């Protein structure tokens, strides 16, 4: 993930997001969740940059800025959860803090939109990518952790689909949100799972999987 070298944007780069996340979140699993969601959302950011034609060296800065927006949004989507887990407070308290600090509006809107109960609609590709990857990244992590190797490398799409039907497995993950997320993003569910798996496999070391 690139961090912008220019003065103005550097305040809201990946490094700042990570700092804010780890300041508010001590729990290892919530930090890992942020990284897993970031991995998937940033991969969608890369794909979106390509779709928008932000390719080649002359568009490198725009591409990096777009991907960094996706990255930071995902890293921060639950940053207030450890301190303010209630439905009344999460993610509203966090978003107020982000606004106070000057984080961009697209990021804040996407974070509000990932909570179904916020009433904030998901309009942009970023809004939809965050919602689509949030529950799925958690589910894929759970799928890896039940493997003897605990490795994401050993997780396959068919196995994930099978586990989605097993109601006793990873009960905390809302299957309907996963299905709805892919539909809103306009991707086939299997393709979405494969895409996120691929992204997570590339960053397995960092994710501890
Ligand atoms: Fe989340």
For residue 77, report the distance from its CA to the centre of ligand 1, in Å: 6
The DSSP letter of residue 64 is: H
Cα(58) to ligand 1 centroid in Å equals 34
Domain ranges of the chain: 7-207
Cα 13 from chain centre: 15
pLDDT in tens, the chain (209 residues): 444 444 454 589 999 999 999 999 999 999 999 999 999 999 999 999 999 999 999 999 999 999 999 999 999 999 999 999 999 999 999 999 999 999 999 999 999 999 999 999 999 999 999 999 999 999 999 999 999 999 999 999 999 999 999 999 999 999 999 999 999 999 999 999 999 999 999 999 999 99
What count of residues does the chain have? 209
Nearest 10 degrees: CA dihedral of 18, 50, 160, 111? 40
Token pair 């799972």: residue: 193
Distance 115 CA to ligand 1 centre (A): 9
């Amino acid at each position: 993930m690139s961090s912008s070298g220019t003065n103005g944007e550097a305040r809201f780069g990946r490094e700042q997001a990570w700092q804010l996340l780890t300041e508010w979140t001590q729990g290892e699993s919530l930090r890992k969740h942020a990284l897993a969601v970031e991995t998937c959302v940033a991969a969608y950011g890369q794909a979106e940059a390509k779709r928008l034609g932000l390719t080649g060296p002359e568009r490198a800065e725009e591409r990096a800025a777009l991907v960094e927006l996706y990255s930071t949004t995902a890293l921060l989507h639950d940053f207030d959860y450890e301190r303010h887990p209630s439905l009344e407070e999460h993610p509203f308290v966090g978003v107020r803090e982000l606004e106070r600090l000057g984080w961009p509006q697209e990021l804040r809107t996407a974070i509000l939109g990932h909570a179904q109960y916020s009433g904030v609609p998901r309009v942009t590709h970023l809004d939809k990518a965050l919602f689509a990857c949030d529950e799925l990244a958690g589910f894929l992590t759970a799928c890896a952790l039940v493997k003897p190797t605990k490795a994401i490398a050993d997780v396959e799409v068919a196995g994930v689909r099978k586990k989605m039907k097993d109601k006793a497995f990873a009960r905390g993950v809302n299957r309907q949100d996963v299905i709805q997320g892919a539909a809103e993003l306009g991707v086939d569910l299997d393709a979405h799972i494969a895409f996120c798996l691929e992204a997570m496999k590339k960053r397995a070391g960092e994710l501890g999987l």
